[in-house]
Structure 1
Amino acid sequence: MDLLDSFMMRAMLAGVGVMIAAAPLGCFVVWRRMAYFGDATAHAAILGVALALGFEISIFAGVLGVSLAMAVTVSTLSGRGYAMDTLLGVLSHSALAFGLVAVSFLQGVRVDLMAYLFGDILAVSRGDLAVIWGGALLVLALVCWRWSALLMSTLNPDMAHASGIDPKREQLVLTLSLAVVVAVAIKVVGVVLIAALLIVPAAAARPLVRTPEAMAVLAAVIGVSSVLGGLQGALVFDAPAGPSIVCVAALIFLAVSVGDGVRGTLRGK
């Protein structure tokens, strides 16, 4: 039997594909304190779903288009008198509201909002796998290519300027990459939990490593472990798969945080 005939194998491959792209980007989200960006782009994805259904085009194309528009809007408006968290908060909740209103206007179209809000990884098809891995590999290649410039513009924008690197351009590269990840991840964990998939593995990896590269690799390992553990837990306990994945990631983060706190206390004695 073909391995891809198994819905569980397709689900695992989908989750792993998303995580290898989300992990390094999640590190930049943590370093830049852009946690709200994942929410803003993910919430905009609901509007993309509504537009895709309304115009009878691919869901992926609709979500990607709206996510890219959100990314460009954030990059354009940032630094123009609004704090980043304020700007992202306004755009995030506005996009979600417009998306839900747009869905309500769809006539004769059956929309499973729960699948888009919380993901439906167990229903991933071969075609979905091709889209997920294509997007993930594209993002991974882009991040590897721009890694040094992204890192320098994140850690020291002034030094980046002096080295001939435009921090605004690198921020645009980062936000566009995040938009692609959101578009491919909507099937896996849905719009509500995408930000958690970006942030939690990176946050769990941060106290355990000394270099940015090691943090990105460990975040990917934690993310993949969360996918495998979450799927297994969902199967055993008959729980929803997307939230189960995030729960496992959160438990890993909790264990790391407690361990780090204990180590700090022992050093202080």
Structure 2
Amino acid sequence: PPLPQANWALFLDIDGTLLDIAETPDRVAVPGSLRRHLQAIEKHLEGALALVSGRTIAEIDRLFDPLRLAASGQHGSEWRPVPGAAAQAIAEQPLPQGLHETAARLAGLHPGIVVERKSHALAVHYRKAQALGPEIGSRLAQAIAGLQGLMLLPGKSVWEIKDARQSKGTAVERFLQQPAFADRVAVFVGDDRTDEDGFRAVEARGGIALPVGALALRQPQRPGFATPAQVRDWLAAFAAQADGAA
């Protein structure tokens, strides 16, 4: 991957990109050094750094506490345009209660199934119940059949329901309208299919897409990273460069 530049607007996915995937979402580990590096880079980029995730912004803040970086959560359904501001909902309507009830029933199929309930999205993780992945996907597809404005996304041992009108791509486009991000080279780093919306958004503006892990292997035309550890090392080098320029 190219070395980061001071004129970049940097968009970073979290799980599988900054952080190693864990058995359940609440068991991921955030190195203290990563917080320091992100803080240094955000300052060096004059605010043009955003975390773009399927997690809620409240969960992002818990993971990276005390940082309150610009962020997009729930696949574009909420965002914080500038560091430290309150999160704002973008999606018009919360998920119907019936979908949460369906997810709760799915959780009863196996103790290894984990459900993340969010205001405008939900995720059903089956990393510890791989054989049930197809059934979970089928039941969720049936649950949203006939419901307008929702879509089902497959991910790494997870199925997610989200607002069909919002994505990591719309999140990038929204950020690029903000003063801190405008007129910069947009760069998106991500590891999963949901991140490809972000890839298309930055490349449409002449920016750079940097895939991670298996996604990088499937996209040899793009420079990328083998592991989240390599992403963290890359950011550490950029943070050191930023400190040297200060």
Q: Do they fold alike, i.e. is TM over 0.5?
A: no
Q: TM-score, normalised by structure 1?
A: 0.23
Q: TM-score, normalised by structure 2?
A: 0.24
Higher RCO, 1 or 2 (CA under 8 Å, sep at least 6)? 1
Return the index of the structure with the highest Cα Rg. 1
* Bigger helix share: 1
* Bigger strand share: 2
